[in-house]
Amino acid sequence: MSSSAAMAVDSSSWSSALVKISPYTFSAIGIAVAIGVSVLGAA
C-alpha cells in the first residue's frame, strides 16, 4: 500500500516539475540532443 502511494506522490512531483519547465528549455534540450546524436553518428 505505501509503495503505491509513494509512486503516486513521485509521479505528481514529476508532472509538476515538467509543467514548471519553460518550453524554451525543452527546445534547447531537443536541439542539444539532435546535435549530439548527429556528431556521434558522423564519428
Domain extent listing, the chain: 2-42
pLDDT score at 3: 52
Whose cell is 556521434? That residue is 40
Query: In angstroms, how far is CA 18 from the centroid of its own chain?
Result: 7
Task: Name the residue with cell 506522490.
Answer: 9
Confidence of residue 7 (pLDDT cuts 50, 70, 90): low
pLDDT of 1 over the 80 cut:
no
